[in-house]
A and B are shown apart, each in its own frame.
Chain A
Amino acid sequence: MSGLSLHAVRKRFGDTEVVGGVDLDIRDGEFVVFVGPSGCGKSTLLRLIAGLETTSSGQIHIDGRDVTGEDPVKRGIAMVFQTYALYPHMTVATNIGFPLEMGKRPKEEIDRKVAEIARTLHLEPYLQRKPRELSGGQRQRVAIGRAIVRQPGVFLFDEPLSNLDAELRIQMRLEIARLHQQLKTTMIYVTHDQVEAMTLASRIVVLRGGKIEQTGAPIELYENPDNSFVAGFIGSPKMNFLSAEVVGRTGSNEVVVSALQAGLRDLTVTPRGPAPAPGTPVTLGIRPEHFLPSPDQSAVGGTVSVIERLGGVSYVYVQLPDGSVVTVERREHEHIEPGQVHRFAVNPARVFLFDNAGFRV
């Protein structure tokens, strides 16, 4: 087990800066998820940690040791690739034992460890098969087995579940979570899927354009995002954003905002920092689950364009008078049809305020 720290890590490919000065400390045994849209540099950052790419500047320390210029094998890491990257001409047993074989370990030890891992990962019946004779989930388990066999200090996962179908993905997600509880090893996991990030991480690192936007526990990011990007990225369906204006202030550092075009008036919201002056344009961030049903005929409303019924909850897509569409979560089995007018209220305690640059106010 090892902790890990990055100091001002940068990576340039030609003129393009893919990772732009990342500072990050990962504690021993943490499960950290790098999340962000494609091209945000999360995979490159992982490959820099693995040593598959060299840093343009900055340092990487693993377990207190500077490994910036070291070969991957000397870093005490193991990696699971998005594409599994199994050796197709070798059996499952040889695949799993390969890192030990490269480490010149005695054959009895290799056999014993491979058998042990096959038991943990339910691969025992398949040890003599080739990767092409396995299903996607089994292949992924072989890849994980090959990673854990060496008992590395840090596990790196590069979008390991994105090649699997939905059902298998959920199953493997649970297996990875269980594995972390069992091994208690530091894990760094890259994904673009915020559900994976929320469910697996002890800490999420949100990246955009090669820079860290925010780090924190999943619920922290959900409840207290620093900016509209993080707010929009974490949570599913996405947070709704409405243009609004500060129209007044109350005595206790609260502001009154109105999104007139959307039909929202006089919401009393508590900003995170000092209250902005009246007249300041702001963006309201409201999650779909923070709309309240309202029987009041004067409440905000719009025309229902689409309803997604998931069973327990339904998502109603409502077109507001200004043409913008908001997603509203509904738990009651109301009778809602497309084309109807749907009215709702907003829980002001759960409304986020962002300035024009997207920063939390």
Chain B
Amino acid sequence: MKRSVVQSFWLALSGFGLLLVIGLPFWWVITGSIKLPREIIGRVPTMIPQSFTLQHFQKLLQASDFLVYLINSVLVSVASAIIVVVLAVPAAYAFFRMRFPGRNGLYRAILLAYAFPSIVILIPLYGMFSALGLIDSPLALIIVNVALALPFSIWMMRSFLSNVPREIEEAAVVDGAPPAVILVRIMIPLITPGIASVGIFAFISAWTEYLFASVLIVSDARRTIPVGFAGIIGQYQIDWGLLLAGATAAILPVVLLFAFVGRWFVAGLTEGAVK
């Protein structure tokens, strides 16, 4: 389809508008983190920083526990993402391909898990973790994050699986491949974009999770970034520079993650198979 100049103009304009909406908060946070305190709280906000300082970052790394929070967050998020992917792939494959009684009912029930506000399960979960001696342990957070991200991940993975042409699987069946081999040798290589998506989804939900982390973790040395950071906001005053520097530093691992797994998002992975 060829676009006219007018269409292109409107497309570019709306694209730019979207970019602004999405990019502006990031710009504001990142530029704010290098402004001097008086410019941050200045009466007239500045889009382009008029001053430059690394004092907030210096304070962040030297005078706060940010690095400890960062390590905790990375540990919890990476572990959650890996476990989610490892569980979601076979679960989705089973829902997608295997026939067993109650399959459809169970598949629908999965999303029901999201109907409950997490605050509802907070108290009973606390009781259970306490009985298991898991309070104040990163393991508790990993379990919660996996449980929260898994249902949607299975849904997501299933739609990636359904994009793999059926004949490829049937060819493998005729060639004598058992289900486990089909999954590992045929399906998984063809759904790497799905695995990357689910991994990123699980990582980010764990990275930003606040509620459970604030209740299940007690000691300061085990806090994750969102909770640890909330401590910076004092009752009477907020160190805006420190907060913005922390937010900037917290975005960084996510950006790195995208850069790393981005190359898995290659289009046309099944090209050549069926056409």
Contacts and interface: CB of A to CB of B under 8 A. Distances in A.
B275 A85 contact: no
A52 interface: yes
Contacts of A132: 268, 271-272
A131 B274 CA distance: 9
Given A73-B176, A102-B177, A103-B176, A85 B170 contact: yes
Contacts of A52: 170, 173-174
A146 interface: yes
Interface in A2-59: 50-52
A78 B273 CA distance: 18
Contact of B173 (A73, A86, A134, A136): A73
Contact of B176 (A99, A131, A163): A99
B181 A83 contact: no
B270 interface: yes
B264 to A, nearest CB: 13
A150 B274 CA distance: 22
Interface in A218-266: none
A85 B173 CA distance: 12
Contacts of B175: 73, 98-99, 102, 146, 150
Interface string A71-96: 11100011101111111110000000
A139 B272 CA distance: 8
B167 A85 contact: yes
Interface in B150-184: 165, 167-168, 170-177, 181
B170 to A, nearest CB: 5
B168 to A, nearest CB: 5
Contact of B165 (A83, A98, A130): A83
A39 B275 CA distance: 22
Contacts, number: 83
Interface string B256-275: 00000000000011111111
A133 B272 contact: yes
Contacts of B268: 132
A89 B172 CA distance: 13
Nearest to A74: B176
Contacts of B165: 83, 85
A81 B181 CA distance: 20
Contacts of B186: 87
B274 A83 contact: yes
Contact of B189 (A86, A89, A136, A139): A89
B249 interface: no
B190 interface: yes
A88 B272 contact: yes
B186 to A, nearest CB: 6
A49 to B, nearest CB: 11
A34 B36 CA distance: 81
Contacts of A50: 174
A163 B170 contact: no
A98 B177 CA distance: 9
A84 B177 CA distance: 17
Contacts of B171: 79, 81, 85-87, 146
B274 A84 contact: yes
Nearest to B173: A72
Nearest to A129: B272
B272 A85 contact: no
Contacts of A88: 168, 190, 269-273
A89 B272 CA distance: 9
A130 B272 contact: yes
Nearest to A131: B272
A22 to B, nearest CB: 21
A150 B177 CA distance: 14
Interface of A: 50-52, 71-73, 77-79, 81-89, 98-99, 102-103, 130-134, 136, 139, 146, 150, 163
Given A84-B273, A150-B175, 20 more contacts: A50-B174, A52-B173, A71-B173, A72-B173, A73-B176, A81-B167, A81-B171, A82-B167, A83-B165, A85-B168, A85-B170, A86-B171, A86-B272, A87-B186, A88-B272, A99-B176, A131-B271, A133-B272, A136-B275, A146-B175
12 contacts: A52-B170, A77-B174, A84-B167, A84-B274, A85-B273, A88-B269, A88-B270, A99-B176, A102-B175, A132-B268, A132-B271, A134-B272
